[in-house]
Structure 1
Amino acid sequence: MPCQRAVAALGFTANLGPMRDWGVELRDNRHLVVDSAMRTNLPGVFAAGDITEYDGKVRLISVGFGEVATAVNNAAVHLDPDAPVFPGHSTDLPHDVPVPA
């Protein structure tokens, strides 16, 4: 599916760089403010991981992985409003359907 930009960053220091100029709401000029669906204030812009901020944020790698799943599933619904937010578990598939490796 076409998109304008995808920023995938994996590291130990959150650094917004040029994202500071995108118009995304920032907290302490260091983190992107997101809601529970990992949406920023800009339509179609989602974020996850240490770069984000919301009430109750816990900065752990495991939390970031969960946030990515939340962001991706909600971004999918943004692109296709008929898509389910929760795609299901592979264990929910019929046993004769191969599960991708």
Structure 2
Amino acid sequence: MYISLDHLKWLTLCNQNITPYTLDKKLLPVRPSITIASASWKEQLKKLENIFVVFDMGEESDKIGLLKKIENNLIELITANGETMHLNLTHIKSVHVP
């Protein structure tokens, strides 16, 4: 999951010796990402063109679909019913690639 720095409110670091919610480490395996972060939010999302994405935790069904392209701060997204949506890049808070 990627979160736009414009929408990030706080960041809490966890103690490496304690797992959240007291879960067993086997139930919560940490796998470091091998993805290199881009210099900007737009560049990071451009890497996801032609990939299925979920924006803003899927709160709105029209923010889930195939990220077709990003141009002039507009995102072209193809929804489940084949409809083309145009979203403002700066209004997207987070993106998840399932």
Instruction: Establish whether TM, by shorter chain, passes 0.5.
Output: no
TM-score by length of 2: 0.27
Higher helix share: 1
